[in-house]
Amino acid sequence: MSGSHDPYWTLARQLVRLQRPAADTLSARRAALARVAAECGATPRTPEGTTVEALAAELAYCADHSGGLAAYLGEFARGFEKTHAWRAVEQLQRQLFTATLVDPHHHRVLCELLESCDQAPRLRTLALRVLHDAGTGPLALEDQGGGRGHADHRNEVAEILAVFDDLAYGWEDEPHPLLVFVETVAVLEDSPLRARMRAWSGQVAAHLGCRSPQRLARLREEVAVRAGRPLSPYRLLVEITARTPVPDHYTVRSWVVPPGPDGTRQYGAPAQLSSRAEMEADVAARYLSCVEDLGELSAGMRVEFLLPRPLLWLPVDQIMARPPDSVPRPIGADHTVLVRSRDRWAKPHWRPLLHERSDLLTSGPDVCFESAAVRVVPYGERLCPEELLRRLRHDREQLGWLFLQPPPYTGGLEPDAVNVLLEMGIPVIVAVREVGERPDAERKTRKVLAGRLMELPERVRMLRGEMGPDSDVFAVLDLHRHLSLVWDGRDGLEGADAALGHPRTGGGLP
């Protein structure tokens, strides 16, 4: 907007009163814009027109970049610094743009984001927490107790930001509490607003103490972990194999896969177990030990089971964990449990097709579980492996399969339809282990699992914790106890062959 109510238009009018020759004014504007481009990362730009409106748009453009308005005015003032006219410009600037920790444009954008966010009723609480962690005395916030209505959010945001603006805080490549506060709010928001808030913090991070992208990324990880929403969760990888001649003799190995480039590391010694009960007790002990060792970093941890084809439908999500001083519950009720195909991981020549379909899945986040990309196999239907292979060679849009009856393993991989799905790179396979023969099983399963395919692991975790939207499913179908989720993709295990290795064990029937 241009006019008397636009602070940039008002400031532009004052700059015009410097009474420079037109040619000198254009030259000064070019030099000022060049300085903003060089110092503030703005796209190079030249003056567009000689009107007050054009100059106002120029000022607003510079304010879009941290420190841009100050750099522009500093260059524009050359030769006029000690004049009465320039003192009038500086006085007007102070009146129009109250001194804030960030430049006026970014301050205004942040106000708008905080006023519209879902966390608006909790902003005072979140700010107090950040200020307390920073070791400051937030008396200005503590004196303002009680809740507020939506109409008061604007005033509350202004009061909160004023406390951060006044905060005397020295740092050496450490984030200012304002940046921590914004990231804390962002991680609690839904994706669209979260992305806008992170875009804001990315623009001002260097000014607020995060002088490198790596430091900002680390701050986001720390804030997300404290909120129980880690951006890149730790993963506990558990491999279970069984000796073919003696199916009840299991080998269990485990690794921790941290976020980032640190690499997979072995967790616990390999174990040889002589019964199903011993195997489950060993897995539960590894899981509880890992949760305790990671502490708060265990928030959002994924537990991934690397299983051979004969054990693919093993109900690993239902292995009971008994945390000290708490209630026993299945592993899958607290943490996301996924199954990975050991056979597919062990065959590098199968990975290109998996990567291709996984890329389709991640590049199309709106693909739904109930869409044509997911094929449902009704109870009792048997698939022909040869026909399935021919179809999937040419159908690269297929991303998931739902089996209302898990295809049994009959002793070989060659005539096995599930093996074809793995070879052809299908990244998502869901099997209903025991209740698929019920006439309402397909309808209820589709209803409970409906939604974005990329969010399926989280929905299955909620279902296993009996937090789904359809309570009669728990009472009738017990779906929360009978779902296997095979989920594969580009997730960092490629290249971990040396760490994982392969014991000389084959299959075995569960």
Could you please report the per-residue DSSP string of 208-250?
A: TT--SHHHHHHHHHHHHHHTT--SS--EEEEEEEEETTEEEEE
Higher pLDDT, 275 or 166: 275
* Residue 65 pLDDT > 70: yes
Contact 40, 68 (CB under 8 A): yes
Q: H-helix or E-strand containing 124?
A: helix 123-133
Q: Which residues of 189-208 are buried (b: 16+ CB within 10 A; e: fewer)?
A: beeebbebbbebbebbbbbb
* Residue 172 pLDDT > 80: no
Higher pLDDT, 456 or 434: 456
Bridge pairing between strands 235-243 and 302-307: parallel
Phi, psi for 255 (deg, rounded to 5): -140, 155
Per residue in 350-385, pLDDT (tens digit) is 989 999 998 888 887 788 988 899 999 998 888 999
* Residue 44 pLDDT > 60: yes
Question: What are the C-alpha distances in Å from 367 to residues 12, 194, 219, 337, 457?
Answer: 49, 21, 31, 22, 14
Higher pLDDT, 269 or 212: 269
What average pLDDT score do residues 457-463 get?
89
Query: CA-based Rg of the chain, rounded to a whole angstrom?
Result: 30
Question: What are the C-alpha distances in Å from 25 to residues 75, 77, 368?
Answer: 12, 10, 58
Phi, psi for 327 (deg, rounded to 5): -90, 135
Per residue in 380-431, pLDDT (tens digit) is 888 999 999 999 998 888 999 999 999 988 876 667 899 999 999 999 999 9
- Entry pTM: 0.62
Average pLDDT across the chain, whole number? 84
**Given this model, what pLDDT does residue 146 score?**
45
Burial class (CB in 10 A: 0-12, 13-18, 19+), 221: middle
* Residue 313 pLDDT > 70: yes
Higher pLDDT, 87 or 469: 87
Q: H-helix or E-strand containing 377?
A: strand 374-377
Give the end-to-end CA distance of the chain in Å, rounded to a whole number. Answer: 70
C-alpha span between 12 and 3 (Å, rounded): 10
C-alpha span between 365 and 323 (Å, rounded): 36
Find how far residue 211's CA is from the centre of its chain: 22
| Cα dihedral 464, 466, 467, 468 in deg (nearest 10) | 80
- Residue 238: strand pairing partners: 254, 305
Nearest to 377 by CA among 417, 427, 318: 417
Contact 284, 337 (CB under 8 A): no
Higher pLDDT, 499 or 147: 499
Find how far residue 149's CA is from the centre of its chain: 30
Strongest mean pLDDT among 225-239, 468-482, 493-507: 225-239
Bridge pairing between strands 400-403 and 428-432: parallel
For the ranges 132-136, 433-437, 504-508, the lowest mean pLDDT is seen at: 504-508
Alpha helices in 17-67 (DSSP H): 22-40, 52-63
C-alpha span between 287 and 285 (Å, rounded): 5
Q: Fill in the DSSP letter of residue 368.
A: B
Higher pLDDT, 230 or 109: 109
**Given this model, what pLDDT does residue 490 score?**
73
* Residue 230 pLDDT > 80: no
* Residue 170 pLDDT > 60: no
- Percent of the chain beyond pLDDT 70? 85
C-alpha span between 433 and 369 (Å, rounded): 19
Per residue in 66-82, pLDDT (tens digit) is 778 888 998 998 888 88
Contact 286, 255 (CB under 8 A): no
C-alpha span between 75 and 33 (Å, rounded): 9
* DSSP helix/strand/coil, 98: coil
- Percent of the chain beyond pLDDT 90? 35
Q: Fill in the DSSP letter of residue 424.
A: T
**pLDDT-derived band of residue 471, with 50, 70 and 90 as boundaries?**
low
Q: Fill in the DSSP letter of residue 266.
A: E
Record the tokens describing residue 353, joined without a space.
Answer: 């097709």
**Given this model, what pLDDT does residue 421 score?**
96
**Given this model, what pLDDT does residue 150 score?**
46
Find how far residue 146's CA is from the centre of its chain: 32
Q: Fill in the DSSP letter of residue 295.
A: G
C-alpha span between 115 and 101 (Å, rounded): 18
Q: CB neighbours (10 Å) of residue 428?
A: 25
Phi, psi for 178 (deg, rounded to 5): -60, -40
Long-range contacts of 49-52 (CB under 8 A, 24+ apart): 50/22, 50/25, 50/26, 52/2, 52/9, 52/12, 52/13, 52/16
C-alpha span between 252 and 239 (Å, rounded): 6
